[in-house]
Amino acid sequence: MDLEARVDRVARHASELLTRDEIRALFQRTDAPRAYIGFEPSGAFTIAHLITVRKVLDLAEAGCRVTVFLADWHAWINDKLGGDLDRIRACGRYMQAAFTALGADPDRIGFRWAHELTGSPDYWARVVRVAKATSLARTKRAMSILGRGEEESSLDTAKMFYPSMQAADIFELPVDLAYGGIDQRRAHVLAREVAHRYGWPVPAAVHTPLLSSLRGRGRMDPVDGGAEGKMSKSDPGSGVAIPSDRATIAARIGGAFCPVKEVEGNPVVEVVRFIALPWEGRLAVDRAPRHGGPVEFADEAGFLSAWSEGSLHPQDLKDAAVASLDRLVAPARRYFADHPELSPESFRAPASGRVK
């Protein structure tokens, strides 16, 4: 790829770049920029993670050295999986397997754990430096990354460390380009502000859209900290877990909120826009002749035009979405059938009750 093709690969299907010029300059400086995405191991992947995996593959195809950061300490701080580090780390191993199953080549995409950093005094010195460059009010605003309201009076003190740790991760790995869903924007902007304050290299950032809950009608303003309406690992009814069989996918999508002609906040339309078209480059709708016959969309504009004008029925759209998701999830089904020890069942045992 030439320079502009690499930038385009990073940018495609993204909600925001910070900034395109910075990303272009990054590729001009180095052939292999260091990119990362951080994950709390906190539950099974959902189809929403297909957005993430696609962008991770884009970054690798553009020549980035990508690290998937399995933030076990962060999940512990955030009380995920009962605060049991054994379960959290089992979940991290499942997440690593899920990435591999969905096409992430281990030769191009690496994995790191938070506990590899937290054992170093230099890491904690970095956390303190970030915290000293950040007001308490600014830290509280960034705490929306935990999926919690910043005014929640019951938050334990450990959760105040979280934003400074997430910013410190970027510099300690180190990272040239931070990637995440748009709900991670505050954390990445915080890292950029701290970098300017200390004269550290400023990380570029790429953000992709969130997938709405299949239930619909939740608040979705992730830039301002409101993302209650997103598909969530903690609410099984809001999404489709990976791996799921076709019957489960069909049942969940079949019952999904899908108002006629509406685009914003419509999870089935988002499945097409954010998953089917980016992954497969097309959406094939296999309609009966009496309903107009088969039709295929090769781009988002054509699809949205047909949907918005009402020439595509919600049931036909749902059937096409099910067929696409079934194809995309199939490799994960095969992988976990062959590796049951890494399946979601590996971390669903009751918490031990011990703080580790």
Residue 286 belongs to a domain with what CATH number? 1.10.240.10
Nearest to 307 by CA among 262, 354, 256: 262
Nearest to 108 by CA among 56, 69, 147, 172: 56
**pLDDT exceeds cutoff 80 at 352:** no
10 is a domain residue: yes
d(CA 49, CA 242): 9
- Read off the pLDDT band of 236 (50, 70, 90): low
Q: In what order do the strands lie in the sheet with 177-181?
A: 16-18, 204-208, 177-181, 34-39, 65-70, 109-113
Beta pairing, strands 177-181 & 295-297: unpaired
**pLDDT exceeds cutoff 70 at 96:** yes
146 is a domain residue: yes
pLDDT tens sequence across 30-59: 999 999 999 999 999 999 999 999 999 999
Q: For 273-278, what is the mean pLDDT? A: 97
pLDDT at site 217: 66
Q: State whether 159 and 241 are in the same domain.
A: no
Q: How is residue 187 written in tokens?
A: 């954390």
Nearest to 39 by CA among 183, 209, 249: 183
Spell out the alpha helix ranges (H) of the chain.
3-11, 20-29, 49-61, 72-77, 85-101, 115-118, 121-132, 136-142, 162-172, 185-198, 246-254, 267-270, 277-280, 300-308, 314-338
Q: State whether 177 and 207 are in the same domain.
A: yes
Burial 300-329 (b: 16+ CB within 10 A, else e): eeebbebbeeeebebebbbbbbbbbbbebb
Taken as a whole, the chain contains a residue count of 356
Q: For residues 91 and 97, is the Cβ–Cβ distance under 8 A?
A: no
Q: State whether 210 and 240 are in the same domain.
A: no
pLDDT at site 350: 59
Q: For 110-136, what is the mean pLDDT? A: 96
316 is a domain residue: yes
93 is a domain residue: yes
Give the residue numbers spanning the domain of 324.
236-347
DSSP type of residue 37: E
Q: State whether 275 and 244 are in the same domain.
A: yes
**pLDDT exceeds cutoff 70 at 277:** yes
Q: For 239-255, what is the mean pLDDT? A: 94
d(CA 177, CA 188): 10
d(CA 139, CA 232): 24
d(CA 231, CA 43): 13
225 is a domain residue: no
Task: Count the domains in the chain.
Answer: 2
- Read off the pLDDT band of 290 (50, 70, 90): confident
**pLDDT exceeds cutoff 50 at 356:** no
d(CA 110, CA 96): 9
Q: State whether 196 and 165 are in the same domain.
A: yes
Q: State whether 243 and 185 are in the same domain.
A: no
Instruction: Give the CATH number of the domain where residue 30 resides.
Output: 3.40.50.620
